[in-house]
Amino acid sequence: MFGQDNVEKNTIAMVLAGGKGEQLWPLTMRRAQPSVTFAGKYKLIDFVLSNLFNSGIRKVYILTQYRAFSLNKHIRESWGKWTGLGEFFVAISPETSSESEKWFKGTADAILQYLRFVESSNADYVAIFGADHIYRMDVSQMINQHRLNRADLTIAAIEVPASEARRFGVLAVDDEGRVRSFEEKPECPEAISGCETCLASMGNYIFSTKKLIEVLQEAKKRHENLDFGRHVIPMMLECRERVFAYDFKNNVIPGFKSEERGYWKDVGTLDAYYHANMDLIKCTPQLDLYNYKWPILTNQGNLPPAKTVTDSEGNSGVNLESHVSGGCVTSGATVCRSILGPSCRVRSHSLVEDSILFENVQVGRQVKIKKAIIDRGVVIPDRTVIGYDRDEDLRRGYTVTDSGIVVVPRKE
């Protein structure tokens, strides 16, 4: 246990993992956004689950929905088998539960459908977190502030440029951190006094259990597609409930480096996803995956080490400034500034630059790939060129972003 003592005894967590991730299409064509690969070996959901686990919160319900099979399988085969007596990480989904339950109609509706788990938990606090952001956080510190403030709700918040704030819920707070207003995705977001930034919600909440039950039962009488940002938080402010902001930049974890302070990435677009991955291969990345005092956990699999091979023609396999996962073989080829997922193979005379390859991508001979994201299991034929000719990439049916990132989806 890495978090503070006794947190796990009176807190349960509910992780919202049902998002489609439409802006990550075609990566989300066959998987939920929280199931998208990150840094080669992880899934996006592994970050929030690692934060909860390391913080000592071991009773976690993961609410899945869209394309849930692979995500549920990942949770069952990794997180579901790591906990002991009285502890659990369990995925639940409307599509696999009773016929009387409907698909989630909003973030708060997802919790409402499973409110019976909250009511039967005997927990004092409920942590409600999203599943598709990249960050490290000691959740127990947020809970302790919630306790000290005698809050009904605490909202994790982070400063963002005013130009980006329209994508988030925006808070205004008083000198004590109490929220005085909240607006979901405003056209004209309110800036922090004297700054060119806004205080944005991270979509992570700590509720006092009794208040959560009370508020959701009242809110369902007023709204059908019940959402925390659009309905629950404004209603609580209207009723003058004790709602506070938690400043994420004050969160400190073991092994923490100064450049990681306030690191939180919303990887909900292809460009944001690509650049967050590419940051990892820098000499000093902002997010340090090698912090063993606060590990990011996942299903490791039973794979041999990655290796480089000199082919029959004497060409050496080379991996430069790259993250290469277990089971990968670079044979007489060069991989530069790239991320390779498990069991990839790059063959002779090929060059992979500034790219992300998901699991089991097979790259043929004399292939050139630049600034691309290649989905799981894709086979790249010999002499294929990707990322050099936009029109040709589009003709093949690939997705190309305005910044020139090429996404090669699975065909089946």
Give me the pLDDT at residue 100, please: 43
The answer, yes or no, to whether residue 211 has pLDDT greater than 50, is yes
185 is in an annotated binding site: yes
Structure-token match 């003058």, residue found: 240
Least confident segment among 9-18, 38-47, 83-92, 358-367: 83-92
- What's the rounded Cα separation, in Å, for the pair 139 and 13? 10
pLDDT bin (cut points 50, 70, 90) of residue 129 is very high
- What's the rounded Cα separation, in Å, for the pair 84 and 73? 19
pTM of the shown model: 0.93
pLDDT bin (cut points 50, 70, 90) of residue 87 is confident
Give me the pLDDT at residue 8, please: 60
pLDDT bin (cut points 50, 70, 90) of residue 412 is low
- Domains, the chain: 7-279 (3.90.550.10), 307-408 (2.160.10.10)
The answer, yes or no, to whether residue 27 has pLDDT greater than 50, is yes
Give me the pLDDT at residue 32, please: 86
What is the percent of the chain where pLDDT is above 70? 94
3 state SS for the chain: CCCCCCHHHCEEEEEEECCCCHHHCCCCCCCCHHHCEECCCEECHHHHHHHHHHCCCCEEEEEECCCHHHHHHHHHHCHHHCCCCCCEEEEECHHHCCCCCCCCCCHHHHHHHCHHHHHCCCCCEEEEEECCEEECCCHHHHHHHHHHCCCCEEEEEEEEECCCHHHCEEEEECCCCEEEEEEECCCCCCCCCCCCEEEEEEEEEEEEHHHHHHHHHHHCCCCCCCCHHHHHHHHHHHCCCCEEEEEHHHCCCCCCCHHHCCCEEECCCHHHHHHHHHHCCCCCCCCCCCCCCCCCCCCCCCCCCCEEECCCCCCCCEEECCEECCCCEEECCEEECCEECCCCEECCCCEEECCEECCCCEECCCCEEECEEECCCCEECCCCEECCCHHHHHHCCCEECCCCCEEECCCC
Give me the pLDDT at residue 79, please: 86
184 is in an annotated binding site: yes
Question: Could you tell me which residue, 222 or 403, shows the higher pLDDT?
Answer: 403
Give me the pLDDT at residue 388, please: 97
The answer, yes or no, to whether residue 310 has pLDDT greater than 70, is yes
The answer, yes or no, to whether residue 144 has pLDDT greater than 90, is yes
169 is in an annotated binding site: yes
- What's the rounded Cα separation, in Å, for the pair 285 and 289? 9
26: preceding bond cis by omega (within 30 degrees): yes
Give me the pLDDT at residue 97, please: 46
What average pLDDT score do residues 103-120 get? Answer: 81
What is the percent of the chain where pLDDT is above 90? 65
Give me the pLDDT at residue 48, please: 97
Q: Tell me phi and psi for residue 170, to 5 degrees.
A: -115, 130
Give me the pLDDT at residue 390, please: 97
Give me the pLDDT at residue 98, please: 44
What average pLDDT score do residues 146-152 get? Answer: 96
The answer, yes or no, to whether residue 187 has pLDDT greater than 90, is no
What average pLDDT score do residues 236-248 get? Answer: 94
At 248-289, the pLDDT tens digits run 999 999 998 888 999 999 998 999 999 999 999 998 899 999
Least confident segment among 87-101, 103-117, 274-288, 346-360: 87-101
259 is in an annotated binding site: no
The answer, yes or no, to whether residue 18 has pLDDT greater than 80, is no
Give me the pLDDT at residue 91, please: 85
At 331-368, the pLDDT tens digits run 999 999 999 999 999 999 999 999 999 999 999 999 99
Least confident segment among 186-200, 272-286, 393-407: 186-200
Give me the pLDDT at residue 101, please: 47
What average pLDDT score do residues 159-175 get? Answer: 90
Question: Could you tell me which residue, 300 or 94, shows the higher pLDDT?
Answer: 300
The answer, yes or no, to whether residue 404 has pLDDT greater than 90, is yes
What average pLDDT score do residues 26-38 get? Answer: 91
